[in-house]
Each structure stands twice: as C-alpha cells, then as structure tokens.
Amino acid sequence: METTLRGVGVSHGVAIGEVRHMGTAVLEPPAKQIPAEEAKREQGRARQAVDAVAADLMARGNLAGGEAQAVLEAQAMMAQDPELMADVERRIAVGSTAERAVYDAFAAYRELLANAGEYLAGRVADLDDVRNRIVARLLGVPMPGVPDSDEPYVLVARDLAPADTALLDPTLVLGFVTEEGGPTSHSAILARALGVPAVVALPGAGELAEGTVIAVDGSTGEIFVDPTEDKKAQLEASAAERKAALSASTGPGATADGHKVPLLANVGGPADVPAAVEAGAEGVGLFRTEFLFLDDSKKAPSEEKQVAAYRQVLEAFPEGRVVVRVLDAGADKPLDFLTPADEPNPALGVRGLRTLLDHPDVLRTQLSALAKAAEGLPVHLEVMAPMVADRADAKAFADACRAAGLRAKFGAMVEIPSAALRARSILQEVEFLSLGTNDLAQYTFAADRQVGAVSRLQDPWQPALLDLVALSAEAAKAEGRSCGVCGEAAADPLLACVLTGLGVTSLSMGSASIPYVRATLAKYTLAQCERAAAAARATDSAEDAREAARAVLSGE
C-alpha cells in the first residue's frame, strides 16, 4: 500500500528505485592493553593510517573537483590535526591499541565539537566519517560507504559524509534520502552540484526496508513508499514536462513580461567554471576564494598563485559580472595562521571580515591579487566582504579596497540580521549587497545549518527570513543599488520567483539549478511574483509560505 513521507527536498528531480542502505559504521574496537614495548609500533600504525586516509580524501577531492574538493581537503586537514594525533599517541603510550586510541581520541574531540554550538557542532558528521575511515584501515575491514550494486538504486543513510557524496555515480545512484542534514548541509550542496535528486531530514529514513521501491521527489521533499503505477506515471510525466521546459528555456534570466533577473553561478574555483558556462550562467554571483587557502593551513597562498587562479575564473566570463567574496575564515573554516584556537564560540567570534581586519596583510594581498588578475580584462569585477555587521565594517572594507588600488565595485554580504536591519546605513559605504541566506537563517533562528533536528528553522521559506530579504532589497532600491541573493535559497525555482517579487535584483546558485530557475521565472510576470511574495510574507510558517506562493502562481 502506497504511503507518503515528507522530508526536505534539496535537489530537483524525481528518482524511482529500490532502497539500498549505506554500509554499516565501523564497530567500536575492543579496549585491550598492549605491552609498553609495542607502543612505538602502534604509534607508527596510527600515523600511517591517518596519512593514508588523508591522502585518500585528497585524491577523492581531486577527482570530484569544484566545491567537493574544498570540502574534502578540509576533511583531510581534520584527519591530520596535530592535537588529535598527539592525543592518539599519548593514549597508545599508556597501553591502548592504535585503533582504540584513535576511537577514544576522536570521541573526546567529538564531544567538544558537539557542545560548541553553531558551525563546529555541524562538523561532527565529518569527524565521525574520518574516524571510521582510520579505524577501518587499522582493523583491516572494508571502508564504510556506498553499497556495491550492479543495478541503479536509491541510497538511504542516516547522513552522507562529503567523501561519499562527492563521488556518487549518478548512473547507479538514482537519488538519495537521509535522516539527518538540512537544505544547506554539505551533502545537499554537493547533491545539487551532481544533479542527483535528494531529500534530507526525513524522520525514520533508516526504517525503510532494503529493497523497498520508493519514489523520491527532490523538489517537494516527498517520498512515496511502494508507489502505485499511476503515481509512478504521474511523477515521470511531471519530470518529463520539467525536462522539456528546461530544454526550451535559454538566454538571460527574465520574467514573462521581460523584467531582467540575471542568473549567476556560485563557484568554488576554476574547476566549477565549465559547468557554469554550460548552464548559461550570466556571470558569477559568488566566487568562494577559500579553496586556495585550504592547501596549506599554516600560511596564506602567494599573491602570484592567487592572481593565476582568479584570472582563470575572470577570463571565463568576458563582459560578464564576477562577484568575488574575500576569504571567509573562522568558525567551521579554521586556518592555523589566522584563527584563534581558544575561542569559546567561534561562530560568534572572530570570523569573516573580522578575521581579515585583524590580519590586514592577508586582506591587502588578496585585494592586490584581484586587482592584478582583472588587469586588461573586460569583466565587471565586484568584490564583497563576508559577515559585515554594520557601517563601520563596510567602511573598513571599502577603505582597504581603495588602498589596494582595486578598480571594482565594493559590496557587503548580508548574513547577520543587523546588516539587513541597517542596510541603508551600510550602503552609504559600499555599492551593492549580496544576501547569504544560509548564514542569515542560521543567525536569525540560532539554528545550525548542519543539524537535522532544527532544519525547519533553516528553511529559506521562513517568513521572518523573507522579511529580512525584503528589508535589504527595499534599502538597496531606495539607494539606487543592487541586492542579489547568493545563498542556496536562489536554487529553489518557486522561491526564486518570490525573491524576485521581494525586489532582489539577481540570483546566484549552483550551476545545476540555473536551467530550472530560468524556466520557472519565464512563466510568471513580475506582478505575479510580487503577489506571491506578499502572500508568503503574510503567513506564519515556512510550509504555509511555500503553499501560499504556489497557490498565487498557479492561479488557485
């Protein structure tokens, strides 16, 4: 009998297939003592296993490229954390086996992260995956991961580590469903990049029996268990209709009545550029520069290395707009040479622009590299600062840009509620705003973007979040400035219409989402988008906001 479950849809498309569960996590190693003379040998085994896992994660990142590469390189750094390794060796010195020492050291670090709140608690799943890989290697058992199958299937897991998600084979993995995670988790972002339908935060996902046929609607978040033939046909027809609409929709983003809404791509580095160009991106709305800094957490990359990487991206969009976010370090992206190790709550401490203002040489080098990379190119370069809190922050960033001789527009990201509330003040110092809806939701609702239990508060349809978007867009319009959205909210075609109705002037998203958003925007007039936005803001929950907007746009 067909039943319907509902999670959070995070990657468009429909997948119908049999359930296959993620491999079982590594069992806890036995707690046995070793003689003192074996300690050095066990410490060597531990170091070899750690290095091998780190190398494997780096290799997976190189294969995956793009955003996945930055995520996996960060995991490799986590595996080789010197403090963790020192704790492992200390435990072996007092009698633990290598595998037990790794298990216990990671457990202690895990507890610290879980209690740290915000960003760091969100790294627990990544830490668990690193621990499992090291312990599996030491025990000589298969790595936990995606099941072996000759037939296509729908992957079901409690959560998916980036190392698994990054290398999913879309010809075998039709879609995936997880019990944990949220719309802005690593797995969700990478699923969209792969174009794999996905639903996260589905209560009881692990109870779906192996081999059960399910239909996954990554747009609505619905899971149909044992779907009828009629339901399968209906879902497949809807998917075919969407595919046809995508093929027919080309050119710049615009509403049905010709109101232009530039559709831009979020990129993590040069590896993401081909997909953005193929999707018809009109430029880059968010160029994350962190990937360059993850190669070596001990020091910043040279100016020459930065110039070369930036120029690769800028050259791909002649006459286009490229918006670069300067380094956003701190919180879940710690760098040894920049971020303090003893902050009680890094997400609320020295992060983003605050970090750069504390290290003006790093900011100056990056701005100088951007200036040199843009020399002689017709590209429209714009540079923005992350985590701007007020006008003083905006002024400090604009002053630094001018001092570096940067000929570009200077902007501020709106990720902190204070920036949305005082947007007109901030726009006295900078020339544009860009809304990072992922962090804006996180700080508005005190809801970690990686924790499935609070995913409803990370839903970008939350009316309070829409209110902050509207405030920012209205301020920008009053000042004659632009206000884009570069958070994952822009990847939702229906929400893209609402954001347009709120006054947002451009939308930036993962490349795979651009065709969906372009096709949907082209179906509605600006007036319809404005009515849908007003209807969504008049509700009191994300679900009601979504339904209200859908009702307006469908003419109900």
The angle at the Cα of 73, spanning 314 to 173, to the nearest 5 degrees, equals 90
Q: Give the position of tokens 């994300």.
A: 542
Q: How far apart are CA 165 and CA 196, in angstroms?
A: 10
Q: Would you say 19 and 210 are in contact if contact means Cβ atoms under 8 Å apart?
A: yes
Instruction: Determine which one of 186, 483, 497, 529 is catalytic.
Output: 186
CA–CA distances in Å: residue 414 to residues 132, 185, 186, 387, 490:
37, 20, 21, 7, 15
Task: Look up 259 and say whether it is catalytic.
Answer: no
Torsion 324-327-329-335 (CA) sign: positive
Tokens of 122: 């969100």
At residue 250, φ and ψ (nearest 5 deg) are: -140, 175
In a 10 Å sphere around its CB, with 0-12 CB exposed, 13-18 middle and 19+ buried, how is residue 531 labelled? middle
3-state secondary structure of 509: strand
Q: How far apart are CA 205 and CA 157, in angstroms?
A: 7
Q: How far apart are CA 3 and CA 228, in angstroms?
A: 10
3-state secondary structure of 190: helix
Helix (H) or strand (E) holding 155: strand 153-157
The beta strands (E) that lie in 201-297 are given as 213-217, 222-225, 263-267, 283-288
- CA-derived radius of gyration, the chain: 24
Q: Would you say 420 and 386 are in contact if contact means Cβ atoms under 8 Å apart?
A: no
The angle at the Cα of 430, spanning 427 to 436, to the nearest 5 degrees, equals 80
Amino acid code (one letter) for 402: R
Q: Give the position of tokens 């002024």.
A: 395
Q: What is the dihedral of CA 437, 438, 443, 444, to 10 degrees?
A: 50
3-state DSSP helix/strand/coil % of the chain, to nearest 5: 50, 15, 35
Alpha carbon distance, N-terminus to C-terminus of the chain: 30
Task: Look up 529 and say whether it is catalytic.
Answer: no
Q: How far apart are CA 178 and CA 515, in angstroms?
A: 26
Q: How far apart are CA 65 and CA 271, in angstroms?
A: 6
Instruction: Determine which one of 483, 486, 497, 529 is catalytic.
Output: 486
Strand-pairing partners, residue 266, are 286
At residue 444, φ and ψ (nearest 5 deg) are: -70, -40
Residues classed as catalytic: 186, 486
